[in-house]
């Protein structure tokens, strides 16, 4: 029987992306989104790490659905801005979460930064919270640099100004933004794609499903793969108390990653 898992997001593009990766790997899973369950208030993303905020969202999804729940937290970390917007990426220009406004603000903030110092990283963390309270996180990164204007219409968020390092130039020898790539090209190298592919073997194992050969990874082969997540932000009793039949998770999981992200190299061509 097909098992159900919740992706705790209202973002239809993220839901489509996860369903596509699962279908590509022949996992017998049905992924539902927040629109498929009874509504509940958006949790406050109060943490200062991607791991912390992803776990907040996954915990709430599990509490309100009773399903194994996945959630991601992702963002753009710009070297010239000291790693910001980071966890504030979706709200960089205010609480309205408007992609274009956020993107334009970042461009204004680095408009005097020379090309060779416009390195940035996309970071994504996927969190998995099981109905028995166990938690896992995986982390994916995509390095690159920022352009000085938007190009492409396929992506979302900061994709139109981000040029990944790890790509094959087009026929004219030009490097493209994430928003100019096909879905398959982006999935293969994206921060979220890497975090998702790292969490799926863990999810399959926890659900008793066979792990597709293409998803088998050795422990430590990907950052964050196959490790339990950080300790709950709240004491376990404050969030598991809402689930009468579920016991407390064990304490003492891996600590959140330290602040800061590695710098990328400089790609040879600027779109």
Q: Which residues are catalytic?
A: 73
| N-terminal to C-terminal alpha carbon distance within the chain | 48
Evaluated on CA atoms 191, 192, 195, 201, the torsion sign reads negative
13 is in an annotated binding site: yes
| β-pairing verdict for 162-164 and 3-7 | unpaired
Q: What phi and psi, each to the nearest 5 degrees, are found at residue 196? A: -65, -45
Pick from 56, 87, 88, 54: which is nearest to 71 by CA?
A: 54
CB 21 within 8 A of CB 195: no
Pick from 91, 55, 57, 50: which is nearest to 73 by CA?
A: 50
46 is in an annotated binding site: no
151 is in an annotated binding site: no
255 is in an annotated binding site: no
9 is in an annotated binding site: yes
186 is in an annotated binding site: yes
Radius of gyration of the chain (CA): 18
192 is in an annotated binding site: yes
Instruction: Name residues whose C-beta falls within 8 Å of residue 110's C-beta, 6 or more positions apart in sequence.
Output: 78, 80, 81, 118, 146
Residue-wise burial string across 26-62, b where 16 or more C-beta atoms lie within 10 A, e elsewhere: ebebebbbbeeeeeeeebebebebbbbbbbbbbbbbb
Tokens encoding 126:
């996927």
184 is in an annotated binding site: no
137 is in an annotated binding site: no
Q: What phi and psi, each to the nearest 5 degrees, are found at residue 78? A: -100, 125
Distance CA 2, CA 8 (A): 19
40 is in an annotated binding site: no
118 is in an annotated binding site: no
158 is in an annotated binding site: yes
Task: List the binding residues.
Answer: 9-14, 73-74, 156-159, 186, 191-192
Task: List the binding residues for Mg(2+).
Answer: 73
Task: List the binding residues for substrate.
Answer: 9-14, 74, 156-159, 186, 191-192
């Amino acid at each position: 029987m097909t098992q159900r898992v919740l992706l705790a997001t209202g973002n239809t593009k993220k839901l489509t992306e996860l369903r596509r990766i699962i279908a590509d790997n022949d996992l017998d899973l049905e992924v539902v989104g927040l629109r498929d369950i009874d509504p509940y208030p958006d949790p406050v993303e109060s943490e200062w790490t991607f791991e912390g905020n992803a776990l907040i969202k996954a915990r709430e999804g599990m509490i309100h659905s009773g399903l194994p729940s996945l959630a991601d937290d992702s963002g753009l970390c710009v070297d010239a801005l000291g790693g910001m917007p980071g966890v504030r990426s979706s709200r960089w220009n205010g609480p309205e979460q408007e992609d274009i406004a956020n993107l334009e603000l970042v461009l204004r903030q680095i408009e005097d930064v020379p090309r060779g110092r416009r390195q940035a990283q996309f970071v994504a963390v996927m969190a998995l919270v099981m109905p028995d309270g166990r938690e896992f996180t995986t982390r994916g990164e995509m390095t690159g640099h920022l352009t000085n204007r938007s190009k492409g219409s396929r992506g979302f968020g900061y994709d139109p100004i981000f040029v990944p390092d790890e790509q094959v130039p087009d026929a004219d020898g030009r490097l493209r933004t994430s928003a100019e790539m096909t879905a398959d090209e982006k999935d293969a190298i994206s921060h979220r794609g890497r975090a998702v592919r790292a969490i799926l073997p863990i999810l399959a194992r926890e659900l008793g499903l066979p792990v597709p050969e293409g998803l088998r990874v050795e422990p430590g082969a990907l950052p964050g793969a196959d490790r339990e997540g950080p300790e709950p932000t709240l004491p376990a009793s404050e969030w598991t108390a809402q689930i009468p039949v579920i016991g407390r998770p064990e304490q003492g999981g891996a600590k959140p990653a330290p602040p800061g992200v590695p710098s990328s190299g400089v790609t040879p061509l600027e779109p």
